[in-house]
Structure formats: C-alpha cells, structure tokens
Amino acid sequence: MGTDVIAFVRRIYTDRVFRRFSEGNGIYVIDEKWDNLIILDACRYDLFEEMNTVEGKLESRTSRGSDTTEFLVENFTRHPARNTFDDTVYVAGNPLVSSILRNKFHKIYPVWDYGWDDRLNTVLPSSVKSEALAARRDHPDKRLIVHFMQPHFPALTGRFAGETGIEGTRKLVKIGVDPVRAAEDGPLDVLVSVLLQRGDLDRDDVLSAYKENLKIVLSHAAELVKDFPGRTVITSDHGETFGDRPGILYPFRVYGHPRHRHVKPLVVVPWLIIEKRGGIAEPRHEEPNEQAHSEQDDEKIKERLRKLGYI
C-alpha cells in the first residue's frame, strides 16, 4: 500500500472512528487536590518513571489532550463548572498559555516572553524556576501552576540544530513564502518528529536528547519541591511518541504529539504527589486581573511558537 494511501486511511480512521470513542476522558487538573502543580511539557509516563529522582508517591492520570493546545482548551475553557480561575496563578514557559488562556487566571507570568533564550530557541528551565519561586512568594494565598517547556524539544544540549522550525522559516522567507501560511498546510519539515519519521534522525539519538531534557528539567522541578509548601504534584500536559505503534485500536505509528491522538503514550501522564507540612493560605477568590494584550504581543507569541515547532 502506498504512503499516500496509508496517510489517507489513517486520517479517515482517526477523524471519523478513533476520535469518537477515545476523547472526552481524562481529568480536569484544576479539580484535583494540590497547592502547586508542576507541568513538564510533553513528558511521557514510562520515561518519567524511569528517570525521576524526586521522592513522592507516583501515580498516573489520563490527560484530556494529546497536545498542549487540546490540554489547555479542555481543562480551562471547556471546564463544565468554571470559566475563570481567580484562585490560581500560572507561570507560563509555553507561549500557548498566554495565547489561549488570557484573563482566565488571577495572574499569568509570561516567562516565554522575557525568559526566552535566542540561542536555543526555547525557554530555559532555570528562568521558569526563578519566576515560580517569585510567584509563590508574592501570592501565598493562591494555587500555583508552573509550566516548564521541557522535556519538549528543542534539545537543551544543542543537538538537532534544525529541529525548532527556525531554519525552515528562514528558507521560506528567502523564497518569498509566508511561513505562517505554509505551516497551516502541515508541520515544517525540520521538526524532530518529522525528521525521525523520514529516517533523517536516529531514534536512539532522539530518545537520548529527550531524556537529557527530562533529566535537566527534573533537577529544577526538584528544587521547587524543596521550597514549595503543602501538596505539590509533578505531571505533564501530554506525552511524546517516537514512532510508537500504540496497539490494535490505533495500529498506525505515531510521531511527536499530534492533536486528537488519545493513545496511551500521549495521554497517560505522570502524577507524582509530594506532601509537605503547611500549605498555602486559604485561597482568595477575586476577579482575574485584566491582562493587556496587543497585536505586537500576538506576533511575538506566533514567533515563539514557530521557533518551538508548533506552527
């Protein structure tokens, strides 16, 4: 069967069959018990279990999304009982938080903006950690979500220099093509998942870089756990795949973390519970702060998302 035929069958099966019985499950993270929620972006359960060194009770949960956009929309814009979360502060390493969830929380710390690393085209975990400590100190009566960008690519070790989409973007600009419009037709061919699928990258090398990202971000999460009061949970918005064939219900290989692919490697996420004495003060409910947003901010978000490989 030709590649185009397989792609067509996969698309029809995914959209018309698989999504109908695989979506609509999963927890609403805001309804779970925690004072501090640390999100490791694109962290799959089995590799977290293998590499984690933070002491706590490891459980699993089912995410409501197989990519970040779906996770954010399902948890915070389609929550059955709440429209805003004024008792919560969100430290956002991922630009999608500010793009999708503006004015949903008491405050969003847009670390994706002022903590951006131009050399690696991502947000360093150290920048997110620093802002998380400040947010906890400044808002002792709020629940706190800390969204790291790792282990999501790009690799902090500097491997796979073309992975983030920036090189592909530059090439498109040189020949006069709008990279945003081009990305609407499909991912740029410099994404790690696409390069892996094409056979341009070795799976073991990709896994090694991913694990290195996870090791680094876990070290920063561990430092937050030491300082945070009350119950801290380390989890993920979704997992990651490296050419996995999930099983009989979805027999196709999956790369990266495509939306609406509710297969085990993408929606079963870690849920590490760390209990400490004390806790946050009684959460105060008040109107969310209106966060001013300009066209310039929107363009910056698009730029960051392109460099991270989202568009």
Q: Which domain range does residue 284 map to?
A: 3-308
Dist CA 153 CA 242 (whole Å): 13
Higher pLDDT, 256 or 200: 256
Burial 58-77 (b: 16+ CB within 10 A, else e): eebbebbbbbbbbbbbbbbe
Angle at 67 between CA 103 and CA 186, to 5 degrees: 105
pLDDT at 214: 98
Of the two residues 211 and 201, the one the predictor is more confident about is: 211
Paired strand residues for 254: 244
In percent, the amount of the chain with pLDDT more than 90 equals 58
pTM of the model: 0.85
More confident residue, 160 or 96: 96
Report the distance separating Cα 291 and Cα 65, nearest Å.
26
CATH at 91: 3.40.720
Helix segments in the chain, DSSP class H: 3-13, 19-22, 45-51, 68-72, 95-100, 111-114, 125-138, 166-174, 179-184, 192-198, 203-227, 264-267, 295-308
Other residues' Cβ atoms within 10 Å of the Cβ of residue 165: 24
Q: What digits encode the pLDDT tens for the residues 166-203?
A: 444 445 445 555 544 554 554 455 678 888 888 888 99
Give me the mean pLDDT over the 220-233 stretch: 97
pLDDT of 18 higher than 90? no
3-state helix, strand, coil in the chain (%, to 5): 40, 20, 40
- Segment 294-303, tens digit of pLDDT: 667 788 888 8
Rounded CA gap, 241 and 214, in Å?
14
pLDDT bin (cut points 50, 70, 90) of residue 163 is: low
Domain total of the chain? 1
Pair 14, 260: CB distance under 8 Å: yes
> Which of 15-29, 39-53, 90-104, 237-251 shows the lowest mean pLDDT across its residues?
15-29
Give 285's pLDDT tier (boundaries 50, 70, 90). Answer: low
Q: Residue 148: pLDDT band by 50, 70, 90 thresholds?
A: very high
Residue 278 confidence (pLDDT): 65
Neighbour-count burial of 181, counting CB atoms closer than 10 A to its CB (0-12 exposed, 13-18 middle, 19+ buried): exposed
User: Which residue reads 């996420």 in tokens?
Assistant: 269
Q: For residues 170 and 39, which has the higher predicted lDDT (pLDDT)?
A: 39
